[in-house]
Structure 1
Amino acid sequence: MPVSLERLIAEVEPNVITEALTRDCIQIAGGDPDTLDEKRRNMHFKDIECLAFSFRGLARIDNLKGLHNQPDLARPVVQQDHQDSRPGPPDQAGGSVVVQQPDHRAGKPGQAGQFECAVPRSYVLSHVKDLTYLDYRRVAGADVQAAMEQHQDEMNELQEREEQAALEAKAAQEKLAHNALMKEANLDGVESLVEDMIKEDPEWPRFITVPGLTDAWNDVRDKFNVATEDFKAIILEQHSRKKNEYAEWKSVVTTFLAEKDTAAKVHLTEYEKMKKKAVRAIQASPGDADTQVLGPKVRLMALKDELLDLEQEAVEVLGELLQEFDRSYSEIAESNKTHFNTYFTQIRDLQNNFFAAMTQAAMGMYEKYNQENSDLESLPEDARILLSDKDALINSLQASHDAHTSRIDMLEDRLVSTELRSANDLNNQNALWSAKRNRDRISEIINYIERNMLELDELAGEEDNGEG
């Protein structure tokens, strides 16, 4: 039985700090390992930078002769000793005590880097969960509670940060899952279409400088969102239909092939039993080997025909199942094509209505700002330029409209092409799988028959080999 850490600690006889122990615990960074012991023996205590009393069986740190002139020397530092090479924070095992003094050669005491790992005990108790031992002492619940109260503000802030991080991580995971579903269902780019149209519109930055010119876009965005949500619901339902259709087809195919494999196994078992019986008979009477293998040979040739017949039946039925699946799955894809066309027709109508509304608003603004005593000069420079030339304004409106419709057309073409191509690719993959399965099974049958025929011939030839 393993001994508990508490028992091990209880059985350790406490040590007392002596000069020899102090020198043995001196920590020296770098240098030649062969000369470290000599440096420890000859070093003046005032030059000591760090002492590590890890697992020395010390009940307390005192009797530091020659070191009491350093007021910060006895400051305890919690250091985790990982006896099993597992990295991580000191959350369970007992910490050891390291005593470190300032490096006067590097600068003033308290300078950054002077006191490495200097952590108050109360901070450790409040921030490290499930801490059992610290500085060779069992952690008391009262001490933990007091530390928690002392650092309550810090703990509350830490908890808030952790909760916020957890929420952000959850949101990121949900977004990744959602995006993956959109891509899998062939809806990639639909949700961002409105924003993408604006991003790719070279005229939009100038339009928004004209007060009220793009107000109609808010109405377009709202109607677009409604149409998009309805469209997504339809395509996601179709996506579920496709998955169910494939799963059902695969289940039928798997069950059917299992039945054929069971029938083939019956024939193979019958032959194997006959062969084993012939082998035992030949072993008992080697002189009758030629006669004993005749039956298995005849059965082997019949087995070949039986296995090939079963495979031919499998090929025919699989062909029918493939055709049925091809028809059903392609019907869903064609139906989706219609849904895509309907949706994008709605989007084009919304864009056309927006273009008409914005053109009307732009012409009205052109007339308004090109009258005498208009406040055209109060507008931003881009707006003044845009409203100063009617032809240029019309060209900008048309360029914006063309950019929007082009983005709509491109997305529709991509999604429709992907929908039909995916269905065609899946059906081709199924056909290739079926053809490969048939080739592999025929090859297995032929190899099995040939291998067993050779074995039977070898059995029949044992008598001649023995007499020779």
Structure 2
Amino acid sequence: MSQLYNSIEPNIIDDEMVQKAVEEQCPEDIEKLVKREGINFKDVTELQLSFRNILQIDNLWQFENLTKLQLDNNIIEKIEALESLVHLVWLDLSFNNIEVIEGLDTLVKLQDLSLYNNRISKIEHMDTLHELQIFSIGKNNLTTLEDVIYLRRFKNLRTLNLSGNPFCDNEQYMLFVVAHLPDLVYLDFKLVSDTTVKVAVLTYQDHTKPLEHEEAQALAQLEENQAKQKELEYHKAAFVEYLNGSFLFDSMYADDTEAAKLAHLPGVGDLLQAYPSWFVSVCENLFNYGLKEYEKREAEVSDFYESLHEALTANQQEGRKIILDFENRNKRVMLSYFSFSYDIAESKQAEYKEDILQLSEALMTLEMLISDQLEVRVKHTPVRPHIQNTVGVIFLLLHPSCRDLENHHHEKLLEISITTLEKSVKNELDEDLPDDVRMLLGDKTTIVNAVNASHGSRLLKIDKRESDILSNTYRGWGTDRSGPSGGDAIDRNRDRVKEIVQYIDNLQEELDNTEILELTK
């Protein structure tokens, strides 16, 4: 189809084209209005740009709420400029000149994708399309049946069209596809029967069993990584990330090349037996302290919001009661205006006016009371000071405790190194040491520099852990939403006052209209 347009000048999607397309798909009764006043592209959810000889996709970023896009029957060569269409559910790029599947990474909500009749030779670059249910890639250049295995990652895929590709000529084509995608309901526009699935699975079980095993392992690894990430986020919230276990200690030695050499010196092995357990014990104590304080803090936040909810509920109930009493009291009066004489009706309206004023004062007073209560609750909640105290304790204990242990270890290591150097000078060293270690024993300056460099490297790791904890804390104070916020109370108060004013204005307007009607009778 797209070849029919080769004699026509190619197009790039521009504002004029999309404006025209939007106007064309509007109902006739509002098309003139749209042409005259224009339309906000953010409000458009469906867009059809078929048969327009489009060569390059562009200028679609304004359609940020688009859910359906038709770009079929053009001469598009590259999938691009779709990254802002994150709400897209349906995409048709059939009958184009596309050679590579790409540019779809952000379309995570996509359910229906058609790439039918293009020049694609490999199924790839679709990993983020977890919601994909319908996929058409027939009449392309797919030659390798094994490429179909890529589609196993799409657990929701139920409809697949591969017809017209070179690999469809393989006599095992259907059984291979169904065996590797046993959840398919439709393949090449035909219902996949249970019998076909059974035969296919049995025929290719030697191929699919290893795949299932690999996928199970990959899924288990993914779940493990997600669990670790979730645990890390929990630790960050408690300001104790990487203080559990030997994380910090291991990181201190991870890049310390001098420490690896010095470990060969006689006596260092015994020194390294005790040091890790002491160091890890200190970190574990701080870790457990931080988690307990975090649990206390979370309980305080929970109690705060529970009491806040109770206070707001009581306030709302009292407000509703005041309004209900007002409406019941005055409804009878409003209905009886025309049964009164003019003087009595005028008196009743004056009373109603006064009642509206009193209602306004009562509702505003009620709002002032709850606003003051919220301000006091937010101001006196101990959550923020609690965070400061927790981090303060962790920092004050981590800094000297770990440094003291490291300094003590450094002194012992330096003592062993000097002793070993002296033995080496006197040829009293019995141990067979590696050449790079013997080079450290060339003179006192060399061995002391090596020990000091190793010591400095480990201190830097301790400093970085402290710095990261403090940085996480500062970010938490600036963006944390788990604790109560004075700004939230102010916003709630402002909105509530607007509601009261609007309600009172409506009552007053209703009264004024009634008064005008009475005077004109």
TM exceeding 0.5: yes
Residue correspondences, number: 370
- Paired residue type of 2:287: K
Change (3 A) 1:286 1:173: farther
> Which of the pair has the greater relative contact order for Cα pairs under 8 Å at 6+ separation?
1
Deviation at 1:116, TM superposition (A): 5.7
Deviation at 1:410, TM superposition (A): 4.5
Return 5+ residue gaps in structure 1 as ranges.
1-28, 35-83, 101-114
Q: Which residue of 2 aligns with 1:80?
A: none
1:426-453 CA-partner distances (Å, limit 9, x unpaired): 7996223334433444454445445533
1:277 and 1:396 map into 2 onto residues whose CA distance is 96
Q: Which residue of 2 aligns with 1:209?
A: 261
1:413 and 1:98 map into 2 onto residues whose CA distance is 61
1:99 and 1:434 map into 2 onto residues whose CA distance is 63
Deviation at 1:208, TM superposition (A): 1.8
Q: Which residue of 2 aligns with 1:197?
A: 252
2:406 to 331, 351, 361: 351
1:91-114 CA-partner distances (Å, limit 9, x unpaired): 8779998696xxxxxxxxxxxxxx
Return 5+ residue gaps in structure 2 as ranges.
7-131, 137-150
1:125 and 1:447 map into 2 onto residues whose CA distance is 63
Q: Which residue of 1 aligns with 2:459?
A: 405
Contact 2:258 2:454 in 1 (8 A): no
Q: Which residue of 1 aligns with 2:134?
A: 86
Residues 131-146 of structure 1: pairs in structure 2 closer than 5 A: 141=195
1:234 to 272, 289, 314: 289
2:350 to 294, 298, 306: 294
Change (3 A) 1:415 1:85: closer
1:220-267 CA-partner distances (Å, limit 9, x unpaired): 334333433343233222212211210111111111111111111111
Q: Which residue of 1 aligns with 2:373?
A: 317
Alignment RMSD, CA only? Answer: 4.3
Structure 1 counterpart SS, 2:336: helix
TM-score, normalised with respect to structure 1: 0.64
1:154 to 193, 207, 219: 207
Residues 34-113 of structure 1: pairs in structure 2 closer than 5 A: 86-87=134-135
1:438 and 1:148 map into 2 onto residues whose CA distance is 64
- Paired residue type of 2:454: S
Deviation at 1:219, TM superposition (A): 3.9
Contact 2:134 2:160 in 1 (8 A): no
Q: Which residue of 2 aligns with 1:368?
A: 423
Q: Which residue of 1 aligns with 2:44?
A: none
Contact 1:286 1:463 in 2 (8 A): no
Change (3 A) 1:401 1:294: same
- Paired residue type of 1:297: K
2:463 and 2:133 map into 1 onto residues whose CA distance is 60
Contact 1:209 1:380 in 2 (8 A): no
Contact 1:206 1:386 in 2 (8 A): no
Structure 1 counterpart SS, 2:261: coil
TM-score, normalised with respect to structure 2: 0.58
1:99 and 1:439 map into 2 onto residues whose CA distance is 64
Change (3 A) 1:92 1:462: closer
Change (3 A) 1:147 1:403: closer
Change (3 A) 1:161 1:439: closer
Query: Which has the higher Rg, Structure 1 or Structure 2?
Result: 1
Q: Which residue of 1 aligns with 2:226?
A: 173
Q: Which residue of 1 aligns with 2:217?
A: 164
Change (3 A) 1:219 1:87: farther
1:416 and 1:456 map into 2 onto residues whose CA distance is 61
Contact 2:240 2:287 in 1 (8 A): yes
Q: Which residue of 2 aligns with 1:53?
A: none
Structure 1 counterpart SS, 2:408: helix
Q: Which has the higher helix share?
A: 1
1:50-80 CA-partner distances (Å, limit 9, x unpaired): xxxxxxxxxxxxxxxxxxxxxxxxxxxxxxx
Change (3 A) 1:301 1:98: closer
1:368-399 CA-partner distances (Å, limit 9, x unpaired): 33345979997444x45432231243234234
1:272 to 327, 332, 357: 327
Deviation at 1:159, TM superposition (A): 2.4
Of the structure 1 ranges 119-128 and 177-186, higher mean CA displacement relative to structure 2 is found in 119-128
